[in-house]
DNA sequence: GTTTATGCAAAGGCTTTGCATTTCA
DNA sequence: TGAAATGCAAAGCCTTTGCATAAAC
């Protein structure tokens, strides 16, 4: 799927979600969604705020926080709490499920993918009578680069 | 392992850790470890602070935060960031590895265990040249109780 | 006797809240 | 027109920091 198609797709999903829940379709909300889907990777509110400030849409931080909640609720955005108090966000639609390796030394975040996690999700849900919506798997340790640096010292 | 043996074991581990890293063996540090291992389940700093205030040892919040960092560093305590900004902690020694189901409706946290996660850890580490230390797997969704309530309404 | 840890309070950083103003329906 | 969203600034909450005091080594 090319970027333009993806934009159209997520805009439609968001629009239907807002309608279904009786929320208003404000230009700010769609502008935020557009900006979120214009980039790959993780971002925090401050970075998103900065990116939008330099463009046509200047939205308040409060609106960014509110809109993130909506986008998370309709599964267009995922929230991560890697470390510290600051939340990291990431677009979640039409992307392969992936999880994260987090280096406890340098803080770098790498992505990886293992289909076996789907089995675990399924089993856990069945055993506990839990309706699974999404998961977060973080593997913490030392990245290859920091392992090398440690050897040298 | 009975509780007393476990206490002795983790106290020794902590003592050796402090020695190895040139940290002082203060009574506060051991009192905190004792209190942490006196209870099951998750706790936050405020709860731990409250529990210790009612007992012989009255420690400052700053010392609790500092000591948690040490206990995490020597793998006696695990930190969780389930939701919100507040960290949850949990003793980590001599307990079966487990992961968490988190209800997005009521916030309840259930534990579950699936040995297949070990394979994923292993594979991810090998493929990415990553030295795995620990992982956190959270499955988010709706718990059985909240599913029932939703049906009724 | 030094150096490190503690305790207290203040500062910090991210997030939420309150309220006046705007705008969608 | 009425209800909901926005923007701004203030307030909140958890956590970290600075510094004087106390204690480990």
**pLDDT tens digits, chain A, 153 residues: what are they?**
688 889 999 999 999 999 999 999 999 999 999 999 999 999 999 999 999 998 878 999 999 999 999 999 999 999 999 988 899 999 987 567 899 999 988 888 999 999 999 999 999 999 999 999 999 999 999 999 999 988 876
- pLDDT, residue A95, reads 65
B81 to chain A, any CB pair closer than 8 A? The answer is yes
Reported as a single tens digit per residue, the pLDDT across B63-89 is 999 999 999 999 999 999 998 889 999
* Domain limits, chain B: 1-95, 97-153
Contact (CB<8Å) B147/A129: yes
Superfamily of chain region B97-153: Ferric-uptake regulator, C-terminal dimerisarion domain (3.30.1490.190)
The answer to whether residue B95 scores a pLDDT higher than 70 is no
B113 to chain A, any CB pair closer than 8 A? The answer is no
A50 to chain B, any CB pair closer than 8 A? The answer is no
B114 to chain A, any CB pair closer than 8 A? The answer is yes
B135 to chain A, closest Cα gap in Å: 4
Higher pLDDT, B13 or B106: B13
3-class secondary structure, B142: strand
Closest nucleotide to A29: CA versus each C1': D5
Distance CA A106, CA A48 (A): 23
Strand C bases within 7 angstroms of protein beta carbons = 4-9, 13-18, 23-25
- pLDDT, residue B153, reads 65
- pTM score, whole prediction: 0.89
User: How many Å does it take to go from CA A83 to C1' D19?
Assistant: 28
Contact (CB<8Å) B101/A147: no
Higher pLDDT, A90 or B150: A90
Is A114 in contact with A99 (CB distance < 8 Å)? yes
Mutate one of A79, A81, A127 to test the B interface: name it (highest B CB count within 10 A): A81
- pLDDT, residue A78, reads 94
Closest nucleotide to A60: CA versus each C1': D7
B137 to chain A, any CB pair closer than 8 A? The answer is yes
Distance CA A29, CA A14 (A): 9
Contact (CB<8Å) A137/B142: no
A107 to chain B, closest Cα gap in Å: 13
Which of B31, B129, B63, B106 has the alpha carbon at shortest distance from A141?
B129
- pLDDT, residue B149, reads 86
Distance CA B42, CA B109 (A): 9
Q: How would you classify residue B72: left for phi > 0, otherwise alpha for psi between -120 and 50, otherwise beta? A: alpha
- pLDDT, residue A93, reads 74
Identify the CATH number of the domain defined by range A1-95. Answer: 1.10.10.10
């Amino acid at each position: 799927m090319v970027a333009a198609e993806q934009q159209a797709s997520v805009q439609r999903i968001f629009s239907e979600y807002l309608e279904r829940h009786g929320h208003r379709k404000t230009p700010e909300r769609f502008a935020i969604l557009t900006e979120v889907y214009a980039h790959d990777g993780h971002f925090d509110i401050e970075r998103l705020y900065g990116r939008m400030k330099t463009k046509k849409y200047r939205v308040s931080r409060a609106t960014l926080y509110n809109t993130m909640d909506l986008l998370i609720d309709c599964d267009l955005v995922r929230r991560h709490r890697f470390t510290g108090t600051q939340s990291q966000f990431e677009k979640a639609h039409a992307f392969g499920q992936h999880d994260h390796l987090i280096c406890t030394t340098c803080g770098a975040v790498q992505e990886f993918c293992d289909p076996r996690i789907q089995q675990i999700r399924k089993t856990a849900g069945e055993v506990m009578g839990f309706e699974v919506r999404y998961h977060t798997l973080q593997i913490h340790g030392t990245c290859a680069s920091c392992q090398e640096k440690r050897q040298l010292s």
